[in-house]
Structure 1
């Protein structure tokens, strides 16, 4: 698969692991890839989990652990405020329901 095929629909970087920061906010490529997956809409059950395994090489459980930690990182908010704020609202609503 070529690098351009690995990019998701928004032109984000291919997920090549935790490398040095590659943008002005200081997020590593893997962190950027986590947020890029969350920006997408998914056609049906299982599609997102499949993409997490194929693109990032992570189990869905580990993906959500990393994503949850990333939501508390100010660099993530600077990188993608719309996605981070949406996910924070979803997380807070789930916590309120518990």
Structure 2
């Protein structure tokens, strides 16, 4: 759960330890997984993605990835990064 209600990323990644921490916060959890991934489509825009990114980070996500329609991945923590620092060896394009 985020500050603006329940938001669910398109894809998430978390360790078993993080999953246990999330379960302890309630149902729905108020702690985000380590990585939240959103996939851009025609039905959303960068403003929406920026809002979701901020909400996931505020809820404790270490990184938020935005997969663009051009098949590139943008990695965000406190600011945008060239690569993920949570999951190594992830290409920024597929």
Question: Which TM-score applies when normalising by structure 2?
Answer: 0.37
More strand by share: 2
TM-score, structure 1 length as denominator? 0.36
Structure number with higher relative contact order (C-alpha < 8 Å, ≥ 6 residues apart): 2
